[in-house]
Chains A and B, each alone.
Chain A
């Protein structure tokens, strides 16, 4: 417990970081972008180092620093890169390093779900739209980038406000922080009682189950599995359980999701359905025509394509 770092050091880092982001934002023409990016990386490294020194007696978790530096650096490139495609690719880098941080937080399933859903699905949609919605450059155009991509809007004011927010946030959570506890075993293992088939398979593979025996009862409080063949009961204590017999992250998460939040799943389904319908309705191009216009259109089509004059129903639809 206690203050992790002196607040004024944090404010100093916030000011420097704001200045670096401000420098790194694109301004069109020659801008000190590289300088800003380098300064930002240096400051982020110094800030993390300051955090690390506080815990000098303990060996710091190197991967945390690697992943967070990559993630924050790539996020900085997302907002500073003038080309949208590169920004999207840097965002994928951020997603992957966030996935790495999730693994460090022992949330393995969410790490891979994040990478699959974000980097695999959402970002590809973004890339599609970026490539769909790009003007073809004119013949006489030397500059390929659009002017709105190369010039940031109000970089100074935005950086000041953003890093003021960061200073407030850091002040709040740097007081009285605690170390992360070791991953708990007792709570999760209670779920084993609900998975008799997993226990039985695991015991059988390990050769602890004799011929004709089945798992009768799993008592996680006492740490025994009661197996039975016919009338005779036998207990297998925890010490004899095979190594891999524990609740994994995915299983525990599944139990948590379906048992504690069934209503939220329904709502999520409705949200997805609404989004799908909304996207279809929004991107459809409906051409409104009265009877007269339809007939004229039909005649025109008949002339140009030669023969098909019987066009009925609304003209248009998706395009």
Chain B
């Protein structure tokens, strides 16, 4: 059986029975934690925003898994709005990054340490 055929049938009960909600929540939590660690440790502004996108992924995965668990579509609808907000955030954040780069010719977040009070 080809891969796509198997994937298309994945919604049917038999292969689904092996995974629980916790499996998906574990992957989601891992993505969230990795994104969080990346946001704290990396000093490149662009990578920091990339890490927030990782956390968005984690939130979307959890939303869809919960929606699947409760057998309704609200989780997937939420992911549509997560995508919207992520796109808006990317546009704004990248505009800011370009602006900051023009000022100091560097993407180092620590260049802007003097902004903290």
Contacts and interface: CB of A to CB of B under 8 A. Distances in A.
Contact of B22 (A63, A159, A174): A174
B37 A95 contact: no
B91 A79 contact: no
Contacts of B77: 253, 256-257, 260-261, 264
Nearest to A81: B47
Given A129-B94, A187-B71, A154 B41 contact: yes
Given A129-B97, A182-B13, A158 B53 contact: no
Contacts of B2: none
A178 interface: yes
B80 A113 contact: yes
Contact of B24 (A55, A105, A276): A105
Q: What size tier do the contact residues of chain B reach?
A: 35 or more
A51 interface: yes
Interface in B59-88: 60-61, 64-65, 67-69, 71-77, 79-81, 83-88
Interface of B is mostly: helix
A204 B21 CA distance: 41
A4 interface: yes
Interface string B82-117: 011111111110111111011001111110000000
Contacts of A76: 34
A55 B18 contact: yes
Nearest to B110: A148
Interface of A is mostly: helix
B42 A170 contact: no
Given A105-B65, A125-B90, A98 B60 contact: yes
Interface in A23-68: 25, 44, 47, 51-52, 55, 58-61, 63-64, 68
A107 B72 CA distance: 11
A163 B36 CA distance: 10
A199 interface: no
B87 A117 contact: yes
A162 interface: yes
30 contacts: A59-B15, A64-B23, A72-B30, A75-B35, A101-B64, A105-B64, A107-B68, A118-B83, A122-B86, A122-B87, A126-B94, A129-B46, A129-B94, A132-B101, A148-B44, A154-B41, A158-B41, A159-B37, A162-B40, A166-B29, A170-B26, A174-B22, A180-B19, A181-B71, A182-B12, A183-B12, A183-B16, A261-B81, A274-B88, A279-B95
B97 A133 contact: yes
A106 B17 CA distance: 13
A183 B76 CA distance: 14
A90 to B, nearest CB: 9
Given A60-B19, A257-B80, A275-B87, A282 B51 contact: no
B22 to A, nearest CB: 4
Contact of A153 (B42, B57, B60): B42
Nearest to B87: A122
Contacts of A114: 60, 79, 83
A160 to B, nearest CB: 10
Interface string A166-188: 10011001100111111110010
Interface in A172-219: 173-174, 177-184, 187
Contact of A252 (B50, B61, B73, B95): B73
A163 B30 CA distance: 9
Contact of A165 (B15, B26, B36, B87): B36
